[in-house]
Structure 1
Amino acid sequence: MSKNQILMESGTNELEIVEFGVGKNKFGINVMKVKEILNPALVVAVPHAHPYIEGIMELRGEVLPVINVATALQLPPSIHPEQDKFIVAEFNQQKTVFHVHAVSQIHRISWEQIEKPSDMYQGAESMVLGVIKLGGDMILFLDFEKLLLEINPDSGIKISDVKKMGPRERSEKRIVIAEDSPMLRKLLNDTLQEAGFQTLEFFENGQDALDYLEQTKTDEGDPCSNVQLVITDIEMPQMDGLHLTRRIKENEVLSKLPVILFSSLITDELYHKGMTVGADAQISKPNIDELVSKIDQLIL
């Protein structure tokens, strides 16, 4: 796949997903996370590794962990392992190989097409961020960050990183946060509270956050007297963080609100996307101490 073909204009509220199969189930991963797709290669087993870790492999001088997605989702093993595929992904500042059973095609969709999963999903419930209906099929949009966090809890957002910054008092500062992952909303709430920010408004997607901002106005019509800053993930159903940022910066009333993109997709290769839509800062998860420092710079 050519990166020139799959990197689209920023802020359109569209994305491209790689559809892959595990057993009879169809799943999707954001193309922006995918570096390349390989045929199965030699995997070396690692003693006492996490059950999801199939082993490690070497790719052009790098040693990368290989995660068996079927095992992680409690699905049956491949019937034809010789036909399986390895998806090499990069996010959260690390590269990982995902072992899947098939890779079929790329779909270009709108974030509005991704529906919130119902409580009926059980086996893969905690790993599913959304459901995409395409041509009579249902593609499950997986939470790969949650998967990595289950394997290595130390790789996530840690309150200890904020405690090192010392006592703080920032309770008068109201921050709006758009993040679709319930796990990450809780982690952000706990860590930002520890950092002294007591007035936090959380939303599951960019559309809900934008609606709130447009309705939050003082008598002078200035929402910035009530909200001082916006933190947003990029990957979210209904409206993604890039489109949310563009809408804020193009709104005459909201445009002076600082916006921080806090996402696993902040890489050197993708940094230009946030710049294009006018983000005031871009910070890669899980660097919570860097996020807190940037908040201080922008609103204190």
Structure 2
Amino acid sequence: MISERQSVVESGMNELEIIEFKVNNQHYGMNVYKVKEIVAPLAITPIPHAHPFILGITQLRGEVLPVISLRNALVSNQDSYTHIVKDDSSFLIVEFNKQKVIFHVDEVRQIHRLSWDQIDKPDDIYNNENSYTLGVVKQSENMILMLDFEKILTDINPNIGFSKDDLKADIAGDKKNARIVIAEDSPMLRSILKETLNKAGFQQLLFFENGEECYNHLASEENKVDLVITDIEMPLMNGHFLTKYIKQDSKRQSTPVVIFFIAYYGRSSTSGKESWCRCTSK
């Protein structure tokens, strides 16, 4: 069992720990902070007509949790889908925004402690908005692909997650001329942010895939910026460091910064809908 630990990033260092695992002989990784536990496979109850990524549900200490096959999520050919769970495979119990899910992987390898600049962004040649790859960690023997788990969950159920339809375009002020800079490594979330902000009347948007590129833009006095929106977890420079550097810069410290994250508040008993929030200001 992996004990819950304070995020290394939040402790003031530009570092993180990732857990490496294998699926279909490929190496993948995710932030250790999101992994609550690793267990041997449990009995699964199949769900009729469920999404092909979902193997079914299982019970863990009284909780009924969905089991998602990363193998099915990561193969492009539907004929390669499988519902076989081998005894030597593993379940990763993962918590996203106070919502627990289980990812089935073939093998858990080890934990790596890295600095954010060791995670390279994927090249546009092989990466697009439909890709699940957020970054690449180069190792001596192999490469570890950092996965966009939020996109996997959203592809399974578009109603679970951040929805632009739930936002109201009632922000006051001169929105058309407001210059907004956004740092977000997920292509899916960049697309949602662009459409949502455009819908709200904001037109002057500039996107960056990591905090370092964003800060390099902000370092120039010629680039006028009215608002910075940043994700927390990004390669090269995370959102905490980006915010820190902005607030330490005498030319930029008055620029408002919104740190972009998800907080899950649960399901409404009246509407049956999920309630989400994804921002905090600095």
Same fold flag (TM > 0.5): yes
Tell me if the contact between 1:11 and 1:244 (Cα under 8 Å) persists in the aligned partners: no
Match of 2:89 among 79, 84, 90: 84
Change (3 A) 1:155 1:168: farther
Amino acid at match of 2:72: T
Structure 2: how far apart are the matches of 1:227 and 1:71?
43
Match of 1:282 in 2: none
Change (3 A) 1:169 1:196: farther
Amino acid at match of 2:71: A
Structure 1 residue 117: Cα displacement: 2.1
Change (3 A) 1:131 1:76: farther
Structure 1 residue 247: Cα displacement: 1.4
Structure 2: how far apart are the matches of 1:54 and 1:78?
6
Alignment of 1:59 with 2:60, yes or no, is yes
Change (3 A) 1:76 1:112: farther
Alignment map for 1:245-260 (pairs within 5 Å):
245-260=243-258
CA RMSD of aligned residues (A): 3.0
Larger % of helix: which?
A: 1
Match of 2:123 among 118, 123, 130: 118
Alignment map for 1:1-300 (pairs within 5 Å):
1-4=2-5, 7=8, 9-74=10-75, 81-118=86-123, 121=126, 126-163=131-168, 165=170, 170-217=175-222, 226-264=224-262, 287=277, 291=279
Structure 1 residue 119: Cα displacement: 5.2
Q: SS of the residue aligned with 1:236?
A: coil
Structure 2: how far apart are the matches of 1:169 and 1:193?
13
Tell me if the contact between 2:169 and 2:200 (Cα under 8 Å) persists in the aligned partners: no
Structure 1 residue 149: Cα displacement: 0.9
Greater relative contact order structure (CA < 8 Å, 6+ sep): 1
The answer to which of 253-262 and 77-86 deviates more is 77-86
Change (3 A) 1:216 1:96: farther
Tell me if the contact between 1:11 and 1:246 (Cα under 8 Å) persists in the aligned partners: no
Change (3 A) 1:78 1:15: farther
Tell me if the contact between 2:121 and 2:134 (Cα under 8 Å) persists in the aligned partners: yes
Q: SS of the residue aligned with 1:83?
A: coil
Tell me if the contact between 1:16 and 1:106 (Cα under 8 Å) persists in the aligned partners: yes
Amino acid at match of 1:2: S
Change (3 A) 1:216 1:151: farther
Change (3 A) 1:76 1:267: closer
Amino acid at match of 1:213: L
The answer to which of 203-212 and 86-95 deviates more is 86-95
Q: SS of the residue aligned with 1:155?
A: coil
Change (3 A) 1:173 1:246: same
Change (3 A) 1:251 1:120: closer
Structure 1 residue 163: Cα displacement: 3.8
Change (3 A) 1:230 1:35: same
Change (3 A) 1:19 1:159: same
Structure 2: how far apart are the matches of 1:5 and 1:179?
23
| TM-score normalised by length of structure 1 | 0.79
Amino acid at match of 1:44: T
Q: Output one character per residue of 1:185-228: Cα deviation in whole Å (capped at 9) or x when no partner.
A: 111010011122222221111011101111134xxxxx7xx322
Change (3 A) 1:53 1:169: farther
Structure 2: how far apart are the matches of 1:121 and 1:79?
29
Change (3 A) 1:119 1:7: closer
The answer to which of 93-102 and 47-56 deviates more is 93-102
Structure 1 residue 8: Cα displacement: 5.2
Q: SS of the residue aligned with 1:216?
A: coil
Stretches of structure 2 that go unaligned for 5 or more consecutive residues are 266-274
Change (3 A) 1:113 1:267: farther
Structure 2: how far apart are the matches of 1:164 and 1:93?
28
Change (3 A) 1:95 1:79: closer
Q: SS of the residue aligned with 1:136?
A: coil
Structure 1 residue 62: Cα displacement: 2.1
Structure 1 residue 165: Cα displacement: 4.7
The answer to which of 145-154 and 127-136 deviates more is 127-136
Structure 2: how far apart are the matches of 1:200 and 1:120?
24
Identity of aligned residues (%): 48
| TM-score normalised by length of structure 2 | 0.84
Q: SS of the residue aligned with 1:126?
A: coil
Structure 1: how far apart are the matches of 2:218 and 2:136?
27
